[in-house]
Amino acid sequence: MADERRNRILTVAQEVFAEHGFRSADVKTIAERAGVGKATIYKFFDSKDALLLTIVEENLNHIRDMALKHLISNEPPLDRLRGVCVSIARYLASNREFSRVLIQEAGEFAGDIQRQHLALMEQYLPLAEIFFGELRKEGYFTVLPTRDTAQLMVNLLIGTTYTWALTGEGDIEEQALRYMNVLIQGLRTTP
């Protein structure tokens, strides 16, 4: 029951933050929409800031888990990489509120969000080294070290998400795959 209320609060808070912006969002509104009292929100979260950072952390953890599922599969390396891109793009498309919250509130909470992101990157760098090592054996991603390659991939996805969330145009899954293919094949076309 407590987990259900906590999850409902997080879902509603994400919607309210995306709709009104973090600073303009009121905890009272979140409580009313979630069907709980303000005290219940503060029972689970120390502050409105903590509520936002929990939303970011839990979404990033979910994205991490999706990526890991694909990276450790038995598929060929390029198929696993495409699987990561597609699954994350689908998640972001189905969870547009999170994308908007992350983009709208990143400035004020950039330090906290960056720490979460960097901790995840460090934690999974050994797995990334193995994965990109497999791709390097096939001649892909040979230019940059693993840390830079992983950061390039994240930057590509963040940039795609940023443009998509702000403009509301296009299919993020299609865009992510198109950009991933350019990254893999290069900017030149074969005659």
Does residue 85 form part of some domain? Answer: yes
CATH number of the domain that 170 lies in? 1.10.357.10
Q: Are residues 26 and 41 in the same domain?
A: yes
The total domain count for the chain is: 2
191 within some domain: no
Query: Are both 80 and 168 inside the same structural domain?
Result: yes
Whole-prediction pTM: 0.82
Q: Is residue 140 part of a domain?
A: yes
Same domain (yes/no): 37, 99: no
Q: Are 148 and 67 within one domain?
A: yes
Residues 22 and 89 in one domain: no
> Hey, what are 124's tokens?
């999974």
Are 69 and 159 in the same domain? yes
Specify the pLDDT at position 187: 67
Residue-number span of the structural domain to which 120 is assigned? 52-185
In a domain, 18, yes or no: yes
- The pLDDT score that the predictor gives to residue 189 is 59
Q: Is residue 190 part of a domain?
A: no
pLDDT means per 10 residues in the chain (191 residues)? 90 92 92 95 94 90 90 91 90 84 73 80 88 90 88 83 80 86 73 48
